[in-house]
Amino acid sequence: MRSILRASLFGFFLFIGISCESYFAPDDREQSPLRVVSVYPAMNATDIPIDAPMRIRFNKHLDAGYFSTSAIDLRSGNSSKWTMSYYDPLRMELVIWTSSSMLPNTVWGLRLDEDVRALDGSWLRAQQLTLFRTGSEKQYVPVYAQKTYFSDVKPIFDTHCVSCHSNGAFANLDLASVPDLVRTAINVPSAHWPDMVQIAPDRPGNSYLVYKLVDNPYISGRVMPRALDDGEPATTLSPKEKRTIMDWILSGALF
């Protein structure tokens, strides 16, 4: 009877231990390796253009699907600004801009009001990011460049991608024509990363295609474009070509 009781207790505590571990391990914020590498404007910077976008660069990829713009607080005293943002996987950078110009010659503070998460599940706690003072001028630089499919993106796909990604040959991704793109890529869940879609219009940080263009540990297989097993080595996309694809997605992935 005692042996049965000991076995039952052992099984109970084993179950509690396993349950607690599985519950707490994914949210272990005390060991978070996610950190901010740089911020623009830098701490105590002055004469910042009143329409300047702000940039937060991380040491690893942010989980853009978890992040909300409500986590960002930009304010001067009691005055706050409504902000918009997108995550740039090419630079591991969160880009933030305001709906209207900031007040000139004013000290502004930028902070994370909520914890944010990396793709590997690690965390960064809410914190003050920077304090800066605006000048009185505008810089008139767009947050991203407007790109179109036929003029900008299709030539890249035709040169580097459609030899493999046509007729559903590889990864069920067909880039040969607009109907094929719509059918296999636009808001279509990735077979290798179900939490993302192949191309999420306006949201490059939620677009698996963008992550396939950069060397990172989260993708399945190799960085694209790649050569066939017995073919000549593939020509990698230039930084400008990668940026063009991402800017097209930011522009709404329109045709």
3-state helix, strand, coil in the chain (%, to 5): 25, 25, 50
Q: What spatial distance separates the first Cα and last Cα of the chain, rounded to whole Å?
A: 74
pLDDT of residue 29: 41
> pLDDT value at position 229?
58
Distances (CA, A) of 54 to 1, 74, 83, 93: 68, 10, 10, 10
Q: How confident is the model at residue 128, as a pLDDT?
A: 97
User: Which residue, 194, 224, 227, 228, is CA-closest to 211?
Assistant: 224
Counting residues of the chain whose pLDDT is more than 70, the rounded percentage is 83
In this structure, what is the dihedral angle of CA atoms 230, 234, 247, 108, given to the nearest 10 degrees? 110
pLDDT tens, residue by residue, 160-179: 998 888 876 677 899 999 99
* In the predicted structure, residue 93 carries a pLDDT above the cut 60: yes
pLDDT band at 205 (very low <50, low <70, confident <90, very high): very high
pLDDT at 60 > cutoff 90: yes
Mean pLDDT taken over the chain: 85
Is the pLDDT confidence value at 42 over 80?
A: yes
- Give the single-character DSSP code of 99: S
Residue owning tokens 């179109």: 148
